[in-house]
Amino acid sequence: MTAPKTFRIGGDLEVRRLGFGAMHLRPETAEDRATCIAVARRAVELGVTLIDTAHLYGWGANEDLLAEALHPYPADLVIATKVGIRHTTSGEGWRHAGEPADLRDQVDEALLRLRLDRIELLQLHRLDPGVPIADQLGALRDLRDEGKIGRIGLSEVTVAELAEARAVVDIASVQNRYNLLDREHEPVLKACEEAGIAFLPWRPAAAGTSGARSSQIAAIAQEVDATPTQVALAWLLAHSPAVLPIPGTSSVAHLEENVAAGAVQLTEDQYERLTK
């Protein structure tokens, strides 16, 4: 099976479908920081053109690190980030932050950290249940119209929430948990595919650790001379042209393994065995 190598987010922003999730780049020491910077730079060297980050990842530290590692950015590199969550010292350590004024502040803060004049893909990390969807998406629409945002995405939404958001503004991407062994959000993926919306699965490389399912993955990995992780990513790429996997790691070796999954070719039979 031959899957398309690229996707146009929002219909015009072309990226390679196999991207990189930067959430694991959270250094605690100077040595860790050097390794994390090396991983980010190696991703670009390997041809990755879509890197996903968020304010939540280290409360801005992840965005700072990417800017340190990669700025000035290559012309074809898209840094996608997320807003809509703030740090708190109580409870789970975070809270929803979808008030329009807060979203505007968060976007301005992200622009400063990433050293950008415009964020080409800005995603709402979570819908705030205490704020009308129209108000949240309306604020991002206004920021888009002002030129601070290029395209707007969502994360962890249902089909109904996606439809409600699209009634307010064009949605370019959706980021939900999804992988070969966890397809809870298949209806959302299908809705995205039908609408030409990019679907960025987080936790995309889950390949299982026991039972018949992981045995089947391991068997096919042996057949195609690849790792189980590569097979799981190759299945995602074959499953829908709208899927843009963003596997994350803090290891150069794992990064290289993940990116190499783009070259793994599954036969129709292997794809069907995995799908079943």
What is the tens place of the pLDDT at every residue in 168-203? Answer: 999 999 999 999 999 999 999 999 999 999 999 999
Give dist(CA 19, CA 119) in Å, integer. Answer: 17
Query: Exposure of 139 by Cβ count < 10 A (0-12 exposed, 13-18 middle, 19+ buried)?
Result: buried
Domains in the chain (CATH in brackets) are: 6-205+240-249 (3.20.20.100)
pLDDT score, position 209: 52
Single pTM value for the model: 0.96
pLDDT score, position 211: 55
Sheet holding 173-175, edge to edge: 20-21, 50-52, 78-83, 119-124, 149-155, 173-175, 198-199
Is there a contact between 86 and 60 (Cβ–Cβ < 8 Å)? no
From 57, 73, 178, 271, active-site residue: 57
271 given a catalytic annotation: no
- Residues of the chain scoring pLDDT < 50: 210
pLDDT score, position 1: 78
